[in-house]
Structure 1
Amino acid sequence: MHDLVIRAGTVVDGTGSPGRTADVAISDGVVTDVGRINERARQVIDADGALVTPGFVDVHTHYDGQATWDPLLSPSCWHGVTSVVMGNCGVGFAPVAPDRHEWLIGLMEGVEDIPGAALSEGIQWGWESFPEYLDTIEGQRRVVDVGTQVPHGAVRAFVMGERGARNEPATAADIEAMAEIVRRGIEAGALGFSTSRTLAHRAIDGEPVPGTFAAEDELFGIGSVLGELQTGVFELAPAGVLGEDLAAPDKEVDWMRRLAAATGRPVTFALTQNNADPGAWRRQLDLAAEAAAEGVPLRPQVHGRTVSILLGFSTFHPFNFT
């Protein structure tokens, strides 16, 4: 007898095969059979008219604060998501100096419109280093799996203080220190490193996030850690996503491609369309395809749906985009 049989659903297994009507049997938490199942089960779910799929992996989330207190990570868990990746776009909550707690909250609130009051109340700040943050995440009970990346904004501010927060150029010593923090984070279990270069991402005070104007020596200096360790991804929101610089999309792909080639590690970036240059996304996609054909792991993050932003006077974003 099976523990569970899901009957008559449209099974889409994630391999690229067409969906098909089938039953799915589960015992001891493991899928044991897919097809026509006649055996009895302790529990039966009638999935006629519904899709039956593996759990979805959401590679771009911002649960960095919520993951420290919420075992559900809603709303993702309500929609078939069983694994999430956070620490995207260079924003997150580690490493952090004791006097930078509210500053990092303001960074996340500005970029992602997550209420700062909720973050201030929910985050207990039982860490300073990135490995300590991972320990905090590991200690939480939860219904979905989580992975995270080392965020550039937090690292820059931790190493450079106000110079980093104000986007001043990094010195060689700064870059070495940031690279070491990223190294320790990845060795402790981080999935990679993330940054943001778009003017769409601003802190609650309206300032561009740390790393927006980082020079190539900083980006490649930190990215080289991934190559040395031969693990981890380099994720970013590239410049030009709002159409603020029409030359940016092509320039961004150029250095991202060179970084991926130099390190041998995946560089993944948000692929978006803007009104100022509606065809830029196609050029970036074609350039990424050319890179892939040469064995260079340059991978756009393509949205599965139209992306929208809820605008209102109670949010920061209406003023952010003026």
Structure 2
Amino acid sequence: MTYPFAAIVGQDEMKLAMILTAVDPGIGGVLVFGDRGTGKSTAVRALGALLPPLNMVAGCPCNSASADAVPDWVTLADDKIVSRPTPVVDLPLGVTEDRVTGALDIETALTRGEKAFQPGLLARANRGYLYIDEINLLEDHVVDLLLDVAQSGENVVEREGLSIRHPARFVLVGSGNPEEGELRPQLLDRFGLSVEVGSPSEISDRIEVIRRRDAYDRDPAAFADKWADAQNDLRARIVAGRSALPATEAGDDVLHDCAALCLALGSDGLRGELTLLRASRALAAFEGAAQATRDQLRRVAPLALRHRLRRDPLDEAGSTIRVGRAVEEVLA
């Protein structure tokens, strides 16, 4: 039984970032950097349990929403639509390329003499979440694979006489400790939102973390029952936000603010503006507002921009401080 998302103490910025990707998966994923033991992995797995289940074809390894969307290499024994939890797939360090993308099914080849495809982690994560702990230690060849798939939304396997394609659209969530190395810029840019987490500094918060975790470890079912109402309320708000998102507007003033902020911070490309816009709109939809405003923009700016800043040798301030400074100057 998974620890309830609503029961996580503090870490409001991390929880907000994950909720925004649940409302709008197109934001582009979440990167969480911080100390060990701060609830990074707990939050990711708890979010998967919080989200409403997906409707998918029972026999499809890619979690296809309808029989028409099932890849042509899949032979269905049963094509009925079933409801299953949103997939949250772990991608472990040291994983092989075949395990990620899929490869020839050796057992079928040996026993039947037929070429068959054995789907990998990317197929399992389609329409869900792909979680990588210690992402800054991930091997370069796996990073290159993820970059290709993140760009196209499709996994392509051309090897061992196989030519396979299948959709691979997922929310990428990475976590790590910055003391153990930095992330490659190409992969860093693929994350829509970035969060910095730390251990609670207030004694009362630390006590509450211990109290809740101890209660969960002693009786997970009773603890889940205690937080069921809060979980259901949060799930309902996410579902309502998803429904409201297509009709949620962002005026020209918000677009101007997005561009002005990114120019002031010198962020490369236009992904910063687009992420700011989507995150502001997702927050407005989650909060039941018909239109994104400067208030939402202020709150999501650190999430969307702190990992997109160039290093400034003349400015020793951290990225969060630099973003906050720009917000105050541009949005004053």
Query: Does the pair score TM above 0.5?
Result: no
TM-score, normalised via structure 2 length: 0.26
Structure number with the bigger relative contact order (C-alpha 8 A, sep ≥ 6) is: 2
TM-score, normalised via structure 1 length: 0.27
Which has a greater percent of strand?
1
